Amino acid sequence: MNHYLSHSCRKLLAPTISALIRNIGCFYSTGGGKKVFLHDFHAEKNAKFVDFAGFQMPIQYPDLSISASHRHTREHVSIFDVSHMLQTRVFGKDKIKYIESLVVSDIQGLNVNQGTLTVFTNPNGGIIDDLIVTKTEGDFLYIVSNAGCADKDLAHLQKRKDEFKSKGADLDLEVVSDRALLAIQGPGTSKVLQPLVKIDMSLLTFMTTAVTSICGVEDCRVTRCGYTGEDGTEISIPAEKSRFILESLLASKEDNVKLAGLGARDTLRLEGGLCLYGNDITDETTPIEAGLAWTIGKRRRIDGGFPGSDVILKQLKEKPTKKRVGFLSNGPCPRAGTEIMNEAGNIIGTITSGCPSPCLKQNISMGYVDNAFSKIGTSVNFLIHKKRIEGCVSKMPFVPTKYFIK
């Protein structure tokens, strides 16, 4: 593994998940930590494993280096096992009112079978976690959130559910315990999936979802989304059929399909300018500071009603004092925690993520700076090994996204 990727991934691979989801469905616990349902399959493929959020997760496979796997995803199709992610469903006639009391987005305004990225916020406007909420035709909300935040997310959801139910709300919360989650990413995704599903992939646009059969397996959810910046889908499938479906996808003759691990997933998301919770967004950063103001729906900007709305809506109107921005540089790569200075040598911010870009062949990074230094093209310096390394503020995403939007 390249040193810069091992360093980057060490930053990823820290938190543990509580006993709330220790032994359910698509993963199981052993003396060496939790394992996703497909762990043995990955081991058979000689995957290199790392600990991530208490799980043994594949970081790469022997046929490709991480940078080669990254480029393969941009050019063909890669499959990431993301079954460690927390999947939940919210039922009941008060489900939208309930979830909108926790997140900033306009869930009521979503079309049926449409989803959105949103964030849980705290009373200070900080981000508890980022998540995708989808309004399904099955009369429930389908939620996917981060494995590393699973314990606090479930506690947060349960606490508010109890508050709502104590006032007579019609509401229920279910942890999805019997389904694996695979992310199929890359320009050939639709071509690979189309012969295996009953839906017309050309009608499934970015952030929409459908339930269909995959390889003859019924009750599979296909959602057009991902964490790479490429066109792609995430498929929620019965855990007991996940190996069969994964092997069928890898056997596709429609494109060159390969397995990919967390290493490529991290560099891909950084090229796409996408946030990693715990690095680029935390409970001390607001959606406005993080450049996620677009997640706040028009109606929510008027009505508020979400935790920290007074702080967030004030920042939306008056602008925050700091802002998440991207940087380009050469030489030693700025990593999370690197101090950012202006040309006069004053500290103006901190890097939150960084790596050499496999596509751009130069360093990319993101971090927070004082608002006065957030303009694209602004020259900055990074303090690395007690030396000042030149960089400049860059637009994000670093590599243009290719989401399937009609």
- Please give the annotated binding residues for substrate, written as ranges: 234
Answer whether 169's CB lies under 8 Å from 215's CB. no
Distance separating alpha carbons of residues 240 and 256, to the nearest angstrom: 25
Instruction: Name, in order, each residue with C-beta under 8 angstroms of 277's C-beta and a sequence gap of 6 or more.
Output: 127, 129, 130, 146, 148, 149
Answer whether 342's CB lies under 8 Å from 381's CB. yes
User: Binding site: what residues are annotated?
Assistant: 234
Instruction: Name, in order, each residue with C-beta under 8 angstroms of 221's C-beta and a sequence gap of 6 or more.
Output: 142, 209, 210, 211, 235, 236, 237
Which has the closest alpha carbon to 85: 159, 156, 21?
21
Distance separating alpha carbons of residues 390 and 381, to the nearest angstrom: 5
Q: How far is CA 355 from CA 2, 6, 68, 260, 338, in A?
A: 11, 10, 15, 18, 12
Distance separating alpha carbons of residues 95 and 113, to the nearest angstrom: 15
**Residues 291-300: b if buried by 16+ CB within 10 A, e if exposed:** bbbebbbeeb
Work out the number of other CB atoms within 10 angstroms of the CB of residue 91.
15
Q: What is the separation, in whole angstroms, between the first and last Cα of the chain?
A: 39
Instruction: Name, in order, each residue with C-beta under 8 angstroms of 397's C-beta and a sequence gap of 6 or more.
Output: 229, 271, 272, 273, 274
Answer whether 382's CB lies under 8 Å from 340's CB. yes
Distance separating alpha carbons of residues 179 and 87, to the nearest angstrom: 9
